[in-house]
């Protein structure tokens, strides 16, 4: 594994030092050698391919593999290479990554590639004119946090895990929100890197709970969850979600605590708690019926109905839906204008709206965590998690 990591790092370094034709293994450079079928977003794709060469931040092996896989899928279609031997670490990692894309269409792969590069560029140091860009703040592994133009952007950054929230990400999100609440930006935006907004709680978080001291683990998780959701209840500034793709579980339920939710038309909203032997959190047991009416909320929270961005908008959960191809551009343009409004006035208005219900929301949060603490110790929950982890079930 260490050898693979070192190998990939060196490919990345080389691809930045050498002239394109000298490097044959990295996908961006293969553009010079192959002419690919033209499609709707081909131009964006070619621009993204060029943009990758200019990235200054080292994106990490996970992201590089994702870029590689999306490039290959976009230009050649499903993986068509023989599987490399188990000791051929680098090629095996690349093959795995490409092969994992299955039958994803070339067009979707192209779009995902463009989106991934756009997110990577947004977190580059000082990219003039790039909305939501700015210097990347240090101290986060699972997030990319940037501040510019009066906007602090917090981006989930585990794209190869569909931005699932592991324990570290919960902790880092709390720290990022704490800092964003106090910094000099006017608004805060949360979004996801890659094709997902977030696939929710990382189900590996449960492996601890399924070991010896289940009761203690469930208690600790409930405390973590209560504090985490508490940060959203108490967040003092306008909080905006840019839902760039599908969202599952807690990133969906938390939306009830945001002030504005903009969604790509690729986004879906899914809260499969019963399927997972669990129950709603993020104050959704109160906010969802309030936002969309009890019948629609029950369909989502009890029966796990997945809804589209358009449906979520019709039900009042989402503020506005944008075509995926223009999502980033349109939303950032709008947010940059909002961020120029007097920050104190915005803050005070937000607090007026929120303070009416703050106490109630904290009480609901505590109750949801109490119920979940017991759910996490149930057989229904253990079976659902084990099924996912042993790859027997996906949503």
Ligand X SMILES: CCCCCC/C=C/C(=O)SCCNC(=O)CCNC(=O)[C@H](O)C(C)(C)COP(=O)(O)OP(=O)(O)OC[C@H]1O[C@@H](n2cnc3c(N)ncnc32)[C@H](O)[C@@H]1OP(=O)(O)O
Q: Which stretch binds ligand X (CB under 6 A): 87-95, 144-152, 248-256, 294-302?
A: 248-256
The reply on whether position 279 binds ligand X by CB under 6 A is no
Nearer to ligand X, 338 or 388 (CB): 388
Binding residue for ligand X, selected from 204, 219, 274, 319, defined by CB under 6 A: 204
Q: What region does 249 belong to: left with phi over 0, alpha with psi -120 to 50, or beta? A: left
- Beta carbons of 323 and 315 less than 8 angstroms apart: no
What radius of gyration, in Å, describes the C-alpha atoms of the chain? 21
Alpha carbons within 13 A on the beta-carbon side of 230 = 14
Least Cβ distance, residue 216 to ligand X (angstroms)? 13
The reply on whether position 395 binds ligand X by CB under 6 A is yes
The reply on whether position 276 binds ligand X by CB under 6 A is yes
Neighbouring-strand partners of residue 247: 198, 269
Least Cβ distance, residue 229 to ligand X (angstroms)? 9
Q: CA of 165: how far to CAs of 172, 281, 284, 287, 395, in Å? A: 10, 14, 18, 22, 16
The reply on whether position 224 binds ligand X by CB under 6 A is yes
Binding residue for ligand X, selected from 188, 205, 328, 373, defined by CB under 6 A: 205
Residues 6+ away with beta carbon under 8 Å from 98? 68, 69, 72, 73, 79, 81
Q: Which stretch binds ligand X (CB under 6 A): 38-46, 63-71, 199-207, 328-336?
A: 199-207
Binding residue for ligand X, selected from 48, 250, 301, 381, defined by CB under 6 A: 250
Residues 6+ away with beta carbon under 8 Å from 294? none
Nearer to ligand X, 65 or 151 (CB): 65
Least Cβ distance, residue 323 to ligand X (angstroms)? 21
Binding residue for ligand X, selected from 143, 154, 187, 225, defined by CB under 6 A: 225
Least Cβ distance, residue 336 to ligand X (angstroms)? 31
Contacts (CB under 6 A) with ligand X, residues 65-124: 100
Which of 192, 188, 344, 214 is CA-nearest to residue 266?
A: 192
The reply on whether position 227 binds ligand X by CB under 6 A is no
The reply on whether position 4 binds ligand X by CB under 6 A is no
Q: Which residue has the tokens 């917090």?
A: 154
Least Cβ distance, residue 276 to ligand X (angstroms)? 5
Residues 6+ away with beta carbon under 8 Å from 282? 229, 232, 250, 252, 253, 254, 255, 256, 257, 365, 368
Q: Which stretch binds ligand X (CB under 6 A): 45-53, 180-188, 245-253, 320-328?
A: 245-253
Nearer to ligand X, 94 or 162 (CB): 162
Give the span between the Cα atoms of 26 and 6, in whole angstroms: 15
Binding residue for ligand X, selected from 60, 132, 134, 249, defined by CB under 6 A: 249
Least Cβ distance, residue 102 to ligand X (angstroms)? 8
Nearer to ligand X, 134 or 249 (CB): 249
Residue 322 main-chain phi, psi, to 5 deg:
-125, 150
Residue nearest to ligand X (CB): 249
The H-assigned helical ranges of 55-161 are: 61-76, 89-99, 106-122
**Binders of ligand X: how many residues, by CB under 6 A?**
23
Using alpha carbons only, give the angle 18, 22, 25 rounded to the nearest 5 degrees.
100
Query: What is the helix (H) or strand (E) element at residue 307, kind and residue range?
Result: strand 307-308
Nearer to ligand X, 222 or 242 (CB): 222
Nearer to ligand X, 70 or 225 (CB): 225
Query: x/- string (CB under 6 A) for ligand X, residues 141-180?
Result: --------------------xx-x-----x----------
DSSP string, 223-290: HHHHHHHHHHHH--S-EEEEE-S-EESHHHHGGGGSSEEEEETT-EEE--TTTTT----TTHHHHHHH
What residue ranges bind ligand X (CB under 6 A)?
100, 161-162, 164, 170, 199-205, 221, 224-225, 248-250, 276, 281, 388, 394-395
């Amino acid at each position: 594994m260490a050898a693979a990591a070192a190998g990939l790092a060196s490919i990345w370094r080389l691809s930045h030092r050498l002239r394109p034709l000298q490097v044959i293994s990295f996908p961006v450079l293969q553009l010079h050698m192959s002419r690919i079928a033209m499609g709707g977003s081909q131009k964006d794709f070619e621009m993204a391919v060029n943009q990758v060469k200019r990235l200054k931040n080292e994106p990490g092996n996970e992201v590089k593999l994702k870029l590689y896989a999306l490039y290959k899928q976009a230009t050649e279609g499903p993986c068509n290479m023989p599987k490399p031997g188990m000791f051929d670490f680098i090629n095996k990692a690349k093959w795995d990554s490409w092969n994992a894309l299955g039958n994803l269409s070339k067009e979707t792969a192209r779009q995902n590639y463009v989106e991934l590069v756009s997110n990577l560029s947004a977190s580059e140091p000082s990219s003039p004119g790039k909305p939501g860009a700015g210097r990347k703040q240090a101290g986060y592994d699972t997030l990319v946090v940037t501040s510019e133009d009066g906007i602090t952007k917090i981006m989930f950054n585990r794209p190869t895990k569909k931005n699932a929230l592991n324990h570290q990400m919960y902790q880092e999100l709390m720290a990022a929100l704490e800092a964003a609440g106090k910094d000099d930006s006017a608004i805060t935006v949360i979004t996801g890197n890659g094709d997902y907004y977030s696939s929710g709680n990382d189900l590996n978080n449960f492996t601890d709970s399924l070991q010896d001291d289940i009761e203690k683990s469930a208690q600790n998780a409930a405390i973590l969850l209560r504090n985490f959701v508490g940060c959203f209840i108490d967040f003092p500034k306008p909080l905006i979600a840019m839902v760039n793709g599908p969202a599952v579980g807690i990133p969906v339920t938390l939306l009830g605590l945001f002030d504005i939710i903009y969604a790509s038309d690729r986004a879906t909203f899914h809260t499969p708690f019963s399927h997972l032997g669990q129950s709603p959190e993020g104050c959704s047991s109160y906010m969802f019926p309030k936002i969309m009416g009890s019948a629609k909320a029950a369909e989502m929270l009890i029966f796990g109905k997945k809804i589209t961005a358009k449906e979520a908008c019709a039900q009042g959960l989402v503020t506005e839906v944008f075509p995926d191809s223009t999502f980033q551009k349109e939303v950032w343009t709008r947010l940059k204008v909002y961020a120029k409004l007097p920050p104190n006035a915005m803050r005070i208005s937000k607090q007026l709206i929120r303070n009416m219900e703050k106490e109630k929301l904290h009480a609901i949060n505590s109750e949801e965590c109490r119920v979940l603490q017991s759910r996490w110790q149930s057989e229904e929950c253990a079976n659902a998690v084990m099924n996912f982890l042993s790859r027997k079930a996906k949503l």
